[in-house]
Structure 1
Amino acid sequence: MIDIWINVGIIVVLLLLGAVFFGAPYVPTRQKDVKKLFELIDKKGVLVDLGSGDGRLVRAAAERGMKAYGIELSPILALMSWLSLGKLRRRVSIKWGNYWRMELPVETTVVFVFLADPFMDKLRVYLEAEALRLGRELTLVSYGFELPGYRPVKTKDALLMYKIKP
């Protein structure tokens, strides 16, 4: 019986550590900062949380009437997030996968990330390509890390808002 739990533990650790190599380990956004995010953005938009973790941000967006997408690398976190949505599932879609290999949903207007600094330049290239593909400006809100080559148009504590033009 212990062997099963050791194997389960190893699998969980490997799945969570995998995120380190693709952007950042799982660190949840603080609730007070989630509230501040919605003071910055247009709540009529469609929010995409890249690396959505436990889904607290997409859940908060849906509670405010927004449509939201969460994209999460860890299948465990993606499942936990989906299960926690309940009736909010009408407004929220949770996708399990590597967002570097995905296109943003066509209706995306706001992108939120909590990425480590070494990945921010890769994010810049990704979002510039997505803005061009979608043919419109995207709003990026980064939690704590600056986007190379851009100046924030607004800030609120650790939140930095950028406009990415096509």
Structure 2
Amino acid sequence: MGRVPYIPSSYTAVRNAMELARVGPGDILYDLGAGDGRVVVEAAKRGALAVAVEIDPSFSALIRLRAREAGLDDKIIVLEDDFFNTYLGFATVIYQYLYPSISRELALKYSRELRKGTRIIAYNLPIPGWIPVKIYRFIDENGAITTHYLYVKGISDPSSWILRHETLPPINIEYVMNIVGD
């Protein structure tokens, strides 16, 4: 198996993540460590192209089965690989439920590969050193208090400010407010 254990996101968390990141047609969502595929299925139902990055062959097979059963096999791509080996630059949205130590490593990859404006949803565990544009707490269907952190590449990542020799990122308020909402 890979570097992270399988701990599924609750269905409430998945729906809330899609709403928070405003996932829809035209989006390309990557779920890093996709597990049973519930995130990519929900993204595809909302019109996004969904990419499941899953290293475990049994989970990859399960995701393909769920995609087929939902009639979404044309909207879901399964990459059976380590997400550190996967190019992420096509993503408009990233979903992750990963340990902070892994997020710290991924932050470097995000800085290199993601385009400005890419939204990242971190479930329960923030990305060390990045600044969320929104934090959303809720109670899921199991009664657990849950948190989503929404990041936007080019706004949330301090490395992009340093590379441009700026103290604050240039912020297109209209764009951020469209993503973040009220």
TM-score above 0.5, yes or no = yes
- The aligned length equals 142
Matching residue's letter, 1:112: Y
More divergent stretch after superposition (92-101 vs 147-156): 147-156
Query: Kindly, what percent of the aligned residue pairs are identical?
Result: 26
Q: TM-score, normalised by structure 2?
A: 0.74
Aligned to 1:72: 54
**Cα distance in 1 for residues equivalent to 2:62 and 2:79:** 12
Describe the SS at the equivalent of 2:64: helix
Deviation at 1:105, TM superposition (A): 5.4
Deviation at 1:31, TM superposition (A): 0.4
Aligned to 2:152: 163
Which 5+ residue runs of structure 1 have no aligned equivalent? Answer: 1-17
More divergent stretch after superposition (135-144 vs 47-56): 135-144
Aligned to 1:5: none
Contact 2:116 2:152 in 1 (8 A): no
Aligned to 1:27: 7
Which 5+ residue runs of structure 2 have no aligned equivalent? Answer: 138-146, 155-159, 161-182
Q: TM-score, normalised by structure 1?
A: 0.80
Matching residue's letter, 2:74: R
Query: What do residues 2-28 of structure 1 show as CA deviations (whole Å, max 9, x unaligned)?
Result: xxxxxxxxxxxxxxxx22xx2x20111
Describe the SS at the equivalent of 2:72: helix
Aligned to 1:55: 37
Query: What do residues 127-154 of structure 1 show as CA deviations (whole Å, max 9, x unaligned)?
Result: 11112xxx43321100111112211101
Is 2:71 the counterpart of 1:82? Answer: no
Query: What do residues 48-67 of structure 1 show as CA deviations (whole Å, max 9, x unaligned)?
Result: 10100110000011111111
Matches within 5 A, 1:3-152: 18-19=1-2, 22=3, 24-44=4-24, 45-86=27-68, 87-104=71-88, 106=90, 108-131=91-114, 135-152=115-132
**Cα distance in 2 for residues equivalent to 1:114 and 1:43:** 17
Q: CA RMSD in A?
A: 1.4
